Amino acid sequence: MSPPPTLTLNTTSAHLLSLLFSLTYVGSLYISKHSRLSFSSSATTTTNKGDRARAREKEHSERWRDDPDVIRARLFAVCLATTLCCTIFGGVVWCGLGFSWGELPSALSQTLLLLGFSLPISSGEILPHLITPTLFLGPLFSGYLGGQLPFQRNWVWENHVTRRFCTLVGVRNYVVAPITEEIVFRACILSIYHLSGASTLKMIFLAPLAFGLAHVHHAWDTYNRYGRTPSAAKRALFTSLFQLTYTSLFGFHTSFLFLRTGSILPPISAHIFCNVMGVPDLGWELGVFRNRRGAIISAYVAGVVGFVLQR
């Protein structure tokens, strides 16, 4: 990113605004009764011999995360929250830089520039979009071996595209969530820290923690869906810790992309790509393609090396 304008926030103000943006985004999911989840207080589930909880059946009166009406309400809520966060950020820029009403276009231009709303115009701005796919060379190679890549023998348009992307769950997972989360947790929060004069290292490794912590609320969903048992509590705890770690690591990566390019587009494309690919499962891939283990491991190593070199 370019040096911050003459406006410089203090660290405390940056922390408070970062907290405000995070609470605005996550809180938007719970303000309306239509977007809130509801669970039966008496719903429980059985456990097997290993005391491992099984997901229970949904009761008719409950509202779960993947219910169509809940998804619709939450999509509207996060879009509204994202707009509000951008507006608040614009207000900070407006007041901090002392723009007048006659300078509205200039204030808007400065806000959009800081938030990284720009289109790629050269190959140098397109290449950052390839960094994340390079890291996934291993999983992509395994997908190739299984014939799962686009237009291969086991790739079916209806299964891999229509049923995956053209549904409410798909729109949430691969369109609205990546775009809104990156705008709030990357563009708004990182730009606020940028205006505070924070170092690049701090922005890469501290700001993404807000993104990781914003996913902790999913623990309540997991705990209820698995029956509110001790095993359900353990599952919720470990799932949340894993998600916190994974999302924080991912946040480090996308923060670097945003700070390197000054554009929000590479983080958004990286987010969408990672959501599509999911968490790599090297053990499963090595078990399925036993005769290609060396090639798979080599692809994973090449992906990591290529990822590091591109950065």
- In order, the DSSP letters of 158-170 are IIIIIHHHSSHHH
Selected catalytic residue, list 181, 182, 253, 285: 181
Instruction: Say if 73 falls within a structural domain.
Output: yes
Please report how many Cα atoms fall inside a 13 Å half-sphere around the Cα of residue 99, on the Cβ side.
Answer: 19
Round to whole Å and give the CA distance between 115 and 30: 26
Residue 254, class by beta-carbon neighbours within 10 Å (0-12 exposed, 13-18 middle, 19+ buried)?
buried
pTM of the model: 0.89
Distance of CA 260 to the CA centre of its chain: 18
Instruction: Say if 44 falls within a structural domain.
Output: no
Side chain identity, residue 82 = T
Instruction: Say if 45 falls within a structural domain.
Output: no
Our count of domains for the chain comes to 1
Instruction: Say if 218 falls within a structural domain.
Output: yes
Residue-level pLDDT at 119: 66
Range with the lowest mean pLDDT among 76-80, 141-145, 181-185, 209-213? 209-213
Residue linked to tokens 């977007």: 35
Distance of CA 62 to the CA centre of its chain: 26
Range of the domain at 28: 11-39+58-310
Selected catalytic residue, list 15, 160, 215, 218: 215
Q: Are 153 and 82 in contact (CB under 8 A)?
A: no
When the pLDDT of each residue in the chain is averaged and rounded to a whole number, the result is 88
181 among known catalytic residues? yes
Q: Which two tokens stand for residue 80?
A: 């509204």
Q: Over 70: is that where the pLDDT of 53 sits? A: no
Instruction: Say if 186 falls within a structural domain.
Output: yes
Range with the lowest mean pLDDT among 19-28, 41-50, 187-196? 41-50
Within 10 A of 144 (CB to CB), how many other CB atoms are there?
12
Instruction: Say if 34 falls within a structural domain.
Output: yes
Round to whole Å and give the CA distance between 122 and 233: 50
Instruction: Say if 5 falls within a structural domain.
Output: no
Instruction: Say if 148 falls within a structural domain.
Output: yes
Range with the lowest mean pLDDT among 117-126, 177-186, 214-223, 247-256? 117-126
Per the model's pLDDT, the better-predicted residue between 279 and 210 turns out to be 279
218 among known catalytic residues? no
Range with the lowest mean pLDDT among 95-104, 149-158, 221-230, 248-257? 95-104
